[in-house]
Amino acid sequence: MAEDSPAEEVPATEQRRGPAQPLPASEAPFNAIGLSRHLLRSIRSGALATLDADDGTPFASLVTIATDADGTPLMLLSRLSGHTRNLLKDARASLLFSAGGKGDPLAHPRLTVTGLAPQTKEPRVRERFLARHPKAKLYADFPDFGFFALEPTAGHLNGGFAKAATLTKSELLLDLAGCEALIAGEAGAVAHMNADHGDALAIYAGDGTANWRLTGIDPEGMDLLAGDRTARIPYPSPVREMGALRKVLVEMATAGRAKASSEPAA
């Protein structure tokens, strides 16, 4: 009878390898942080996982999502929903942001963010969410509805085949230190751009066939909406105050117009 091969004959590298593990975002061979932040900003709905208030069973549901200026995921939830009752008892939760698309669903990037999702009455949360989901104004002030913010503890990114990474809170969210004036001036800047510069918004989006609206600005870029379509437009470089924002928006519009004028007519 043949004996089992002794353990020492198995190459040491094979003994140490074990199950494959995703790399930290800082070590990933692709821009894991940039892709994760893009998914956070551009996806308007996702799967919310909570813990059942009665027995702790994992409970998944579909919710609409917006983001705060730093990227914190925001939700408007009804107390009539199971996930809301769950969060009010145990705030632990996770959100799945999936890009979707044609073909194999698993070939497209997706991001899971875990953390705590307490209810919040911060006025800017309401403003940011309703800018991203205008139809929610119909029921946002009903007494059984409330806003919740998922405070991330970690993220797990699957960027497609052989692209996986883990992220920390600081890699998912922006540091807003020194950006107080930019954040305070956001509502006015958004209203001004939507009222007077729709042509520039179309240039930023690269699509003049849709009625694009600006829904939010932050130090890294701007969020646009046209019907159910979204566009996340990064600046050439980060901005931290209103003067720099005005300058970069003018430069981006000028560059876009110059590019359009140099392209041959279809």
Looking at the fold, whether 180 and 58 belong to one and the same domain comes out as no
Confidence at 17, pLDDT banded by 50, 70, 90: low
Examine the fold and report which residue of 152, 173, 194 is the final residue of a domain before the chain moves on: 173
Residue-wise pLDDT for 191-225, tens only, equals 999 999 999 999 999 998 999 999 999 999 999 99
Residue-wise pLDDT for 164-181, tens only, equals 999 999 999 999 999 999
The bridge status of strand 119-120 relative to strand 145-149 is antiparallel
Looking at the fold, whether 63 and 155 belong to one and the same domain comes out as yes
Residue 49 amino acid letter: A
Question: Three-state SS across 74-85?
Answer: EEEEECCCHHHH
User: pTM for the whole thing?
Assistant: 0.89
E strands in 32-91: 45-51, 58-64, 66-67, 73-78
Q: Residues 75-85, buried b or exposed e (16+ Cβ, 10 A)? A: bbbeeebebbb
Confidence at 48, pLDDT banded by 50, 70, 90: very high
* Token pair listed for 239: 């901005």
Question: Domain for residue 130, yes or no?
Answer: yes
What's the CATH code of the domain at 155?
A: 2.30.110.10
Q: How many CA atoms lie less than 13 Å away from 225 in the CB half-sphere? A: 20
Looking at the fold, whether 90 and 207 belong to one and the same domain comes out as no
